[in-house]
Amino acid sequence: MNSHQSAIPRRITQNAILIALVMGLIVHHLMDTPGVGLNLPLSVLTLILGLRVMAQLNRIPARGPGQPLLWTALLFSLTFVWQDSTVLHLLNGFALLVCLSLALPTFREGRLARGGVFHYVVMWVGSALSVFVGALLLISETRWTREKTEPSTSSGRNAALLRGVVITVPVLLVFTLLLRSADAAFNSLLDGLFSWNLSAFLVQVPGILGTAYLALGSMHLSLLNTPLPEPAGDLRTMVRLGWTESSMLLSALTVLFVAFIGVQFAYFFGGQDQITALTGLTYAEYARKGFFEMIFTATLMLGLLLLVYRLQDSKVHLLLLYKGLNLTLILCVLVMLLSAWKRMMLYVSTYGQTEDRLLTLIFMVWVGLVLVWFMVMLFQKTYDRFTFGSIVLGLVLIAGMNFLQPTRIIVQTNLNRELPLSPEDWSHFRRLGADAAPLVLPRLQNAPNCRTVLESWQQDLAEKQDWRSWNVRRSQATEQMDAAGDVCAREPDPS
């Protein structure tokens, strides 16, 4: 709808409610099963088609920059059909939500690639609120009385639809019954598709209506509301940081970070003996003690550099000393990230790899990429693209993790450790998902709790046999377990 219109016509709201109810019925049925698989991309596709049908049916022009992100969201949802990994499900789910939160408010119109951090924060918060209250706003913004100049075409169209339903349903039922009695396989298919009963359906009604409510809010956000306003003003009009203050701050931080990096080099080139002599800690204890503090410091420094850049006058950005101080600090932070990476590798070699530790390493890589992107921004003066570029870097990183298969990284790292695996380690492999099966099954007979792990794994896979939660890796894992037989009856493999 155009922003100058004061009310939404009744016909558009009625169409939106009808489409939302259909979307709610489809999506709720798809997601009402244990596990996530084929149902997630089908649900995202339902959302995309619902928005397109709504736009076409009501002749709402939708040429916003967010439309490609909807298809990107669909691609991330397809990974739930391909992979079965707790790490990848978390990463791809986050990427899916980011894409939807950017795509919905810019589906019809708006600005996407240019904007500061505050612009995107407003967009994300506004999108979340709009989805939850959009249905109520749509009802309140609707003009329910027909104007005199409005053509009375809805009653004729509704009558035609009603006559079509009356004619189609009986004929469809007759031929369905005939084909059902003619073929046993088709009869079984219909029994599986329509094995509903009234009481079970009534129990699902609240879920269907809740899903339809969110779908209606998404349509209001994407097609029927006015675009989110641009953040008013500039930070430099409210707070301005002079060159003297910023140069003192950046110079002092540069001296501090250079000194810290020097100590880091001394520790790591000195080895275990020097660390123990200076700190009284073992190598693994030293690696664990400062890791998260260094990650937090690097992230905080990135935010500080961005804030100083925004508060500076544009003329200061051209000064060679300003760029030099920023580059020195960025290089120090990158070295700090490398030190933190080495600390984590030392810790993993002692205590093993887990999902949390691997996710932290992925976050470190993203922070490093954003710092490099900030260096580019200093020379290209592309601050208005910095935030969107950082988001794109994160999405590309998550997409790449689908090919690196983090679950296999975790399993291989822990299997190759010299220390023997505990029963909890083998149970942890099972919780990682079916992606771990090809590496774990050949060595599962070595587990002290082999029978417990195997039976729990088989039960997990059996609970997700519904076509809606079908997944390639789970299907392959089921076949591998069936082919392997009782692996727990084998002799332990000394290797």
pLDDT of residue 465: 84
Mean per-residue pLDDT over the chain, rounded: 81
Task: Name, in order, each residue with C-beta under 8 angstroms of 120's C-beta and a sequence gap of 6 or more.
Answer: 102, 387, 388, 391
Residue 33 lies in a domain: yes
Residue 314 lies in a domain: yes
Q: Please tell me which residue, 304 or 118, carries the higher pLDDT value.
A: 304
**154 and 257 together in one domain:** no
Residue 234 lies in a domain: no
Question: What is the percent of the chain where pLDDT is above 90?
Answer: 26
Is the pLDDT at 493 greater than 70, yes or no?
Answer: no
**135 and 162 together in one domain:** yes
Q: Please tell me which residue, 99 or 339, carries the higher pLDDT value.
A: 99
Residue 2 lies in a domain: no
Residue 495 lies in a domain: no
Pick from 332, 329, 309: nearest CA to 380: 309
* Range from 169-173, 237-241, 250-254, 441-445 that averages highest in pLDDT: 250-254
Pick from 106, 100, 54: nearest CA to 75: 100
Contact 328, 254 (CB under 8 A): yes
Please state, in angstroms and rounded to a whole number, the distance separating the CA atoms of residues 413 and 410.
5
**205 and 246 together in one domain:** no
Which domain-ending residue is among 407, 433, 449? 407
Angle, vertex CA 86, rays to CA 80 and CA 89, nearest 5: 35
**252 and 399 together in one domain:** yes
The total number of structural domains in the chain stands at 3
**401 and 450 together in one domain:** no
The model's pLDDT over 395-410, given as tens digits with 9 standing for 90+, comes to: 999 999 999 999 999 9
**247 and 188 together in one domain:** no
Which domain-ending residue is among 374, 407, 440? 407
Is the pLDDT at 365 greater than 80, yes or no?
Answer: yes
**61 and 202 together in one domain:** yes
Residue 317 lies in a domain: yes
Kindly state the average pLDDT of the residues 16-35. 91
**166 and 98 together in one domain:** yes
Which amino acid appears at position 487 of this protein?
Answer: V
The model's pLDDT over 61-103, given as tens digits with 9 standing for 90+, comes to: 888 888 889 999 999 999 999 999 999 999 999 999 999 999 9
Please state, in angstroms and rounded to a whole number, the distance separating the CA atoms of residues 55 and 71.
17
pLDDT band, residue 287 (cuts 50/70/90):
low
Residue 350 lies in a domain: yes
**121 and 196 together in one domain:** yes
**356 and 428 together in one domain:** no
**What is the reported pTM?**
0.82
pLDDT band, residue 451 (cuts 50/70/90):
confident
**219 and 183 together in one domain:** yes
> Which residue range is the domain that position 457 belongs to?
423-489
Report residue 206 as tokens. 């609240």
CA distances from 371 to 176, 297, 305, 386 (A): 62, 13, 10, 11
pLDDT of residue 487: 72
Please state, in angstroms and rounded to a whole number, the distance separating the CA atoms of residues 233 and 329.
29
**218 and 254 together in one domain:** no
Please state, in angstroms and rounded to a whole number, the distance separating the CA atoms of residues 228 and 426.
50
Residue 413 lies in a domain: no
Which domain-ending residue is among 200, 224, 248? 224
